[in-house]
């Protein structure tokens, strides 16, 4: 009797999830817009600053940053931004690394970003019952939960490629107990994103 009741409840939950999923659709135009506007603004700012201060001063500024912070500073910045919920973007490092070797800059940024997503996932998986974390994940579920339930790992990939709240979605993936064997490989798309953004800024630097 008890087992039959549990099966019936499970069937009702699955039916409710199917109804919920039918109403959830990705707006690709909106995602493309969200993905394009921030990087365009950063690129324009980069273009104007380099034009204003001149190529030599830009190179001097990059050299100063490299001497004082180096790749360690870039790695830590990207890792922290993609781990914690902060009003910052990892994309701010691309104007700095645009003149560096792509064989160094892209792996450093991609690895830091991927590890940030993995740390966020682990935090959601292990700490989601802590009141402060639970309040945050509950709010995230209201906004993104239906998308993760419908699209699963694909939504983590989309968040990794576009400037959706990557750390938030990784935390939520952990709180919803999505399989690590699917989520962790999905975070590797941050290497692709790093390569694309680096190429854009390198091209802009060459034009200047």
Query: What is the Cα–Cα distance from 35 to 162, expressed in whole angstroms?
Result: 5
Per the prediction, the chain carries an average pLDDT of 82
CB 79 within 8 A of CB 113: yes
Higher-confidence position of 107 and 13 = 107
Per-residue model confidence (pLDDT) at position 20: 52
- In 3D space, the residue among 169, 164, 85 whose CA is nearest the CA of residue 132 turns out to be 85
CB 97 within 8 A of CB 198: yes
Q: Could you list the residue range(s) of the whole structural domain that residue 99 is in?
A: 2-207
Could you give the C-alpha distances from 84 to 89, 126, 159, 207, in angstroms and in order?
11, 15, 15, 35
Q: How many domains does the chain have?
A: 1
Phi/psi region, residue 70 (left: phi>0; alpha: psi -120 to 50; beta: rest), is left
- In 3D space, the residue among 42, 18, 170, 174 whose CA is nearest the CA of residue 97 turns out to be 42
The reported pTM is: 0.80
């Amino acid at each position: 009797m008890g087992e039959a009741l549990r099966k019936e409840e499970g069937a009702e939950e699955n039916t409710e999830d199917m109804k919920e999923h039918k109403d959830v659709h990705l707006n690709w135009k909106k995602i493309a817009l969200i993905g394009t506007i921030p990087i365009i603004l950063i690129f324009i700012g980069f273009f104007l600053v380099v034009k204003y201060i001149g190529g030599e001063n830009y190179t001097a500024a990059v050299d100063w940053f490299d001497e004082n912070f180096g790749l360690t500073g870039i790695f830590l910045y990207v890792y922290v931004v993609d781990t914690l919920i902060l009003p910052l973007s990892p994309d701010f490092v691309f104007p700095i690394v645009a003149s560096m070797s792509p064989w160094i800059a892209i792996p450093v940024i991609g690895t830091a970003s991927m590890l940030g997503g993995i740390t966020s996932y682990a935090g959601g998986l292990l700490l989601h019952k802590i009141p402060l974390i639970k309040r945050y994940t509950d709010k995230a579920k209201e906004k993104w939960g239906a998308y993760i339930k419908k699209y699963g790992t694909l939504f983590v990939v989309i968040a990794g490629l576009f400037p959706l709240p990557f750390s938030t979605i990784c935390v939520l993936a952990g709180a919803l107990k999505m399989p690590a064997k699917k989520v962790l490989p999905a975070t590797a798309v941050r290497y692709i994103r790093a390569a694309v953004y680096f190429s854009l800024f390198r091209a802009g630097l060459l034009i200047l």
